[in-house]
Amino acid sequence: MHGRPVQQVLGESSPSHPNRWRILGVLVLALLVTSIDHTIINVALPQMVGDLGASAAELQWVVAAYTVVFAGLLLTAGSLGDRFGRRHALAAGLFTFVAGSVTSALAASTTMLIAGRGVMGVGGALIMPTTLSILVNAFGDPRERATAIATWTAASGAGIALGPIVGGMLMRSFSWGSVFWINVPLLALALVGTMHLVPDSRDPNATRLDPIGALLSIIAVSSLVYAIIEGPERGWTSSSTMTSFMIAAMAGAMFVRWELRRDEPMLDMRLFANRGFSAGSVALAMLFFAMAGTVFLQAQYLQFILSYTPLVAGAALVPAALGMILGTGVGAHAAGQVGGRIAVVAGTLFAAAGVAVQAALIDGTSYVPTGVGLLLFGLGAGIAMPAATDLIMSTLPSARAGVGSAVNDTVRELGGALGVAVIGSVAASTYASNLNGRLDAVAGLPEGVRAAVTDNLGAALEASRHLGASGADVAAAARDAFVSSMSGSLWVGAGLAALATVIAFVHLPKHAPPAHRHGGHAAPADATDQVAPARVREPVMSTTTTHTASPLSSPTGDAQLEEATSAHAATSAAP
């Protein structure tokens, strides 16, 4: 979802496109590929260490580059489609994603790979909001539209869950580049379908673009992530690290000031004055923080420590997806019985317990703590996320559903990027510290080899193969240091998930806002609970296609958009 409200008459019938189901197939294919790329990369990381000589920091950047750019542009990318045409925006996103995939697949260095991943993030930011906008224009019948939205939502969740498995299957026969080459034929097919089947549509009332806001947000987030990732290697108090932190703080402050002064902000900062909205958003961000950081380390643990193949390692991450599926059903029932606040509190507590199980019990010999921990985390996230999303949406007037859903998507992406950066950096720092002490007992280790060995586990295992008699001691020491550092790092994720529990308990509304309801979602009873700045103009999505024109909005339409957002949040969290 993008930063401006998307409103559509979803409760009333309007003419549907004759090729709507074919169009849905094109949209689902495009979304499926971009969703898979959130997680497919994890199982390829260990092989990149050997083939590209990737350092610990570079591995973090390979994962984070896609998410940072994706999150930074998500709020404004949908506005490009509204203004210049959604079919053109989708085609541009598909072409950009293919270009980034080819660049990544052909990368001969980690720098080129990271750049390619960033280009893929640009494409993904264009594709994701545009597919939903096109969908609601193509389906005029409310029941058909509900089915189409459910299919779109399922594709997003399925892609993220399937990513590690697909990656493992590819790497069973091919190199790590195959996780990018697989995108090319699939997105080429989607591009052909877009040009031949998808009708063009745009919003005649589209808001002005905010390139300055988008640039400031990317500078702030990328500088912060850079400082966190590079801190262990360059030193936390080094001039480059401190400068990056200062740039992040200055760009963030400038972004907030800029958005507060704009008549049509990319992100309305006044929304965060609502405690329920802020608490729900922070809780979601913390959950994704814990999840992304955990999966980043587990992908290496399963292959480097437990010696799993990429395929088996991908399958070993599936319990989180299974837990998510179970948790979503349980969470929907629990929220109806005991309220959304209790569901979020219980879900985040389960998630924290899942990470804590892994932190406390992983020992380098058994998969059981990993499997149980991932299942618990997935169950908790499945319980918490739909309820948290619904509470976020219910704190807003129905006319602001699009803004709420945009922020909902963005905070999850930012949480994931920071999770990889922070948990990965803590792991890298403690790994180097732990291993340096253990290597003192290894005689005759060259200084250059020592530096490589202490950078990351993959490099240590590769170096140990060429060290003769001392190689076994170095490999054992490196594995012990990694398990120890991973345990300590996962406690950070567990702590953040536990903090999300406290925030949800203290700040989320104890009861859903009463009074009247808009399309099934509660509207704030007290005017002070609403955040609707007078200067912000809310654009309306036009259904201007080749055969319809109905630029109306209704409470029912907002309700179905909110339900689509809640379902998307529930299914897009599985690693």
Does residue 242 share a domain with residue 273? no
Q: How far is the CA of 84 from the CAs of 267, 551, 552, in angstroms?
A: 20, 17, 20
Q: Are the CB atoms for 299 and 317 separated by under 8 Å?
A: yes
Does residue 510 share a domain with residue 474? yes
What CATH number is associated with residue 435?
Answer: 1.20.1250.20
Residue finishing a domain among 229, 244, 261: 261
Q: How many CA atoms lie within 13 A of 31 on its CB side?
A: 27
Does residue 5 fall inside a structural domain?
Answer: no
Q: What is the per-residue pLDDT for 190? A: 92
Residue finishing a domain among 261, 277, 299: 261
Q: Are the CB atoms for 274 and 7 separated by under 8 Å?
A: no
Does residue 549 share a domain with residue 415? yes
Does residue 338 fall inside a structural domain?
Answer: yes
Question: What domain range includes position 127?
Answer: 20-198+262-571
Does residue 194 share a domain with residue 128? yes
Q: What is the per-residue pLDDT for 207? A: 65
Does residue 46 share a domain with residue 130? yes
Q: What is the per-residue pLDDT for 227? A: 87
Enumerate the β-bridge partners of residue 521: 518
- d(CA 29, CA 75) in angstroms, rounded, equals 22
Give the tokens for residue 166. Answer: 């697909």
Give the tokens for residue 142. Answer: 């409310």
Does residue 38 fall inside a structural domain?
Answer: yes
Does residue 141 share a domain with residue 227? no
Residue 166's H or E segment, with its range, is helix 142-173
Does residue 12 fall inside a structural domain?
Answer: no
Does residue 245 share a domain with residue 336? no
The total of other beta-carbon atoms located within 10 Å of residue 80's CB is: 22
Q: Nearest-CA neighbor of 376 among 359, 356, 360, 362?
A: 356
Q: Which residues contact 430 (CB under 8 A, 6 or more apart)?
A: 484, 485, 488, 489
Does residue 515 fall inside a structural domain?
Answer: yes
Query: For the chain, how big is the Rg over CA atoms in Å?
Result: 23
- d(CA 418, CA 574) in angstroms, rounded, equals 17
Report the number of distinct structural domains present in the chain.
2
Q: What is the per-residue pLDDT for 536? A: 40
pLDDT tens column, 18-72: 888 888 899 889 888 888 887 888 888 888 888 888 888 888 889 888 888 887 7
Does residue 404 share a domain with residue 315? yes
Q: What is the 3-state secondary structure (H, E, C) of 177-198?
A: CHHHHCHHHHHHHHHHHHHHHC
Does residue 1 fall inside a structural domain?
Answer: no
- d(CA 8, CA 140) in angstroms, rounded, equals 10
- d(CA 388, CA 394) in angstroms, rounded, equals 10
Q: Are the CB atoms for 277 and 284 separated by under 8 Å?
A: no
Give the tokens for residue 437. Answer: 């002490």
Residue 265 CA, chain-centre distance (Å), reads: 23
Would you tell me the crossing angle of helices 110-138 and 86-105 to the nearest 10 degrees? 160
Sort strands 521-522 and 517-518 into parallel, antiparallel or unpaired.
antiparallel
The total of other beta-carbon atoms located within 10 Å of residue 232's CB is: 23
Does residue 9 fall inside a structural domain?
Answer: no
3-state SS class at 522: strand
Tell me the backbone φ, ψ of residue 544, rounded to 5 degrees: -80, 90
Q: Nearest-CA neighbor of 180 among 41, 348, 329?
A: 41
The total of other beta-carbon atoms located within 10 Å of residue 405's CB is: 28
Instruction: Name residues of the chain where pLDDT drops below 70.
Output: 1-14, 78, 150, 153, 157, 203-207, 332, 393, 396-406, 443-444, 511-575
Does residue 326 fall inside a structural domain?
Answer: yes
Does residue 337 share a domain with residue 401? yes
Instruction: Quickly list H helices, 45-141.
Output: 45-52, 56-84, 86-105, 110-138
Burial class (CB in 10 A: 0-12, 13-18, 19+), 501: buried
> 147-184: buried (b, 16+ CB within 10 Å) or exposed (e) per residue?
ebbebbbebbbbbbbbbbbbbbbbbeeeebbbbbbbbb
Does residue 231 share a domain with residue 221? yes
Q: Nearest-CA neighbor of 41 among 72, 16, 13, 63?
A: 63
Residue 517's H or E segment, with its range, is strand 517-518
Tell me the backbone φ, ψ of residue 175, rounded to 5 degrees: -85, 180
Angle 102-103-106 (CA atoms, 0-180°, nearest 5)? 80
- d(CA 114, CA 411) in angstroms, rounded, equals 22
Does residue 215 share a domain with residue 172? no
Fill in the amino acid letter for 523. A
Does residue 441 share a domain with residue 387? yes
Sign of the Cα pseudo-torsion (532, 533, 534, 535, in order): negative
3-state SS class at 541: coil
What's the N-to-C CA distance of the chain in angstroms? 20
